[in-house]
Amino acid sequence: MTPVLAAWGWGDADVTPVAGGLINQTFVVRRDNTAIAVVQRLHPIFAPEVNLDIEAITAHLAARGVTTPRLIRTLDHQAWIVDGGHAWRALTFVDGETVHRVPSPACAESAGALVGALHRGLADLEHTYAFARVGVHDTQAHLAKLTAHTLAPGEFPEAREAGDLAREILNAASTLPPLPTTHCPRRHCHGDLKISNLLFVDGRASAIVDLDTFGLSTIAYELGDAMRSWCNPNGEDAGSVTFDLAIFEAAIRGWRSTVQAVSADEQRSIVIGLETVCVELAARFCVDVFRDDYFGWDTTRFPSRRAHNFVRSRGQLALALAVRESRDAALEIVLG
């Protein structure tokens, strides 16, 4: 990492890897035991031009009081460097605690308020993206892939079981209500608001991190995916799932307290988006049961990638069905 650190003038600094990142490799840079920056090696799924988007968007948000890491340019004013065939960048260090489960409605309300402030801050952003992810939340494409695998499953010991699960998912998908299309504009969105992408200080949500996924999307997918993460306290790797309506209500209350200019159709779309995202992710995990080549898996808890993906897929399907059972109550919350 010597050439990387030298590009920012940090050749004499201490560097510590950060555990837990699934995509980019992250390192904290310290001088005199004080964190001064974060250096990241970008995963190839992100073009390095994404740093130009991050620089522009975070400057816009900072001017509106929303805290995020900010891009630090090199000594010769480059937004990133390439070393060892990988793009590297530096960001300001933002202190805070990462949580992987929402522990209480109070936590959810605080997180929702921060996300509402984020969306309010993005509302007047004028930006053309230098990098955009392709096929994000293309539910029909994922379902089509799953259908194809049911017709040609291949040969592996769990093929019949995988086919049965796939048909359950496709059946659930066939009864999804359509997402509202009127008064539901595409907006600038974070794109991955799982609870671990928010930082907390003294129990209050204080900053938003993991910024490579910014892009144009809808509130349905943005908050639907967030609520999928926040409102299932057992997590996607658990054998059982629940949809915590109290967490959902608190999160929506917090979000509505700070966001502005969101139509009733957009608010209603959150519930349908949540159910849709759960089915979509169930399909994606099930596709990888057939393919066995995409998602990472926990070797300490599962004997194989397929075994892990079975649990994930079943869990997301169960969550979709739990949301469906609570749909009327959830709609009453978002429209109340």
Q: What is the 3-state secondary structure (H, E, C) of 121-141?
A: HHCCCCCCCCCCCCCCCCHHH
Which one of 43, 67, 94 terminates a domain? 94
- pLDDT band per the 50, 70, 90 thresholds, residue 297: confident
How many domains, the chain? Answer: 2
Q: Are residues 34 and 111 in the same domain?
A: no
Q: Are residues 66 and 149 in the same domain?
A: no
Q: Are residues 70 and 113 in the same domain?
A: no
Angle, CA 122 vertex, CA 119 and CA 124 arms, to 5°: 125
How far is C-alpha 245 from the chain's CA centre?
Answer: 20
Q: How far is CA 83 from CA 5, 266, 273, 309, in A?
A: 11, 44, 40, 34
Distance (Å, whole) CA 296 – CA 2: 29
Look up the CATH number of the domain holding residue 17.
3.30.200.20
Percent of the chain with pLDDT over 90: 88
pTM (2 d.p.): 0.93
Least confidently predicted of 53-57, 97-101, 204-208, 251-255: 97-101
Which residues are within 8 A (CB) of 49 and not within 5 positions of it... i.e. 6 or more apart? Answer: 130, 131
Look up the CATH number of the domain holding residue 245.
3.90.1200.10
pLDDT tens per residue, range 167-217: 999 999 999 999 887 778 999 999 999 999 999 999 999 999 999 999 999
Q: What is the mean pLDDT of the chain?
A: 95
- pLDDT band per the 50, 70, 90 thresholds, residue 119: very high
Q: Are residues 206 and 76 in the same domain?
A: no
Question: Residue 238: what pLDDT?
Answer: 64
Q: Are residues 21 and 164 in the same domain?
A: no
Q: Are residues 190 and 125 in the same domain?
A: yes
The residue segments making up the domain with residue 25 are 2-94
Question: Residue 180: what pLDDT?
Answer: 80
Predicted confidence (pLDDT) at residue 33 exceeds the cutoff of 70: yes
Predicted confidence (pLDDT) at residue 8 exceeds the cutoff of 90: yes
pLDDT tens per residue, range 43-87: 999 999 999 999 999 999 999 999 999 999 999 999 999 999 999
Region 139-165: what's the mean pLDDT? 96
Q: Are residues 63 and 139 in the same domain?
A: no
Q: Are residues 27 and 156 in the same domain?
A: no
Q: Are residues 253 and 281 in the same domain?
A: yes
Question: Residue 22: what pLDDT?
Answer: 64
Under DSSP, is residue 151 helix (H, G, I), strand (E, B) or coil?
helix
Q: Are residues 107 and 78 in the same domain?
A: no
Q: Are residues 111 and 38 in the same domain?
A: no
Q: Are residues 69 and 175 in the same domain?
A: no
Amino acid at 125: L
Predicted confidence (pLDDT) at residue 23 exceeds the cutoff of 90: no
Which one of 50, 76, 94 terminates a domain? 94
pLDDT tens per residue, range 269-292: 999 999 999 999 999 999 999 999
Question: Residue 240: what pLDDT?
Answer: 76
The secondary structure element, H or E, covering residue 284 is: helix 264-291
- pLDDT band per the 50, 70, 90 thresholds, residue 336: confident
Question: Residue 94: what pLDDT?
Answer: 98
Which one of 94, 121, 155 terminates a domain? 94
Distance (Å, whole) CA 97 – CA 199: 5
Tokens of 24: 């980019």
Question: Residue 239: what pLDDT?
Answer: 64
- pLDDT band per the 50, 70, 90 thresholds, residue 260: confident
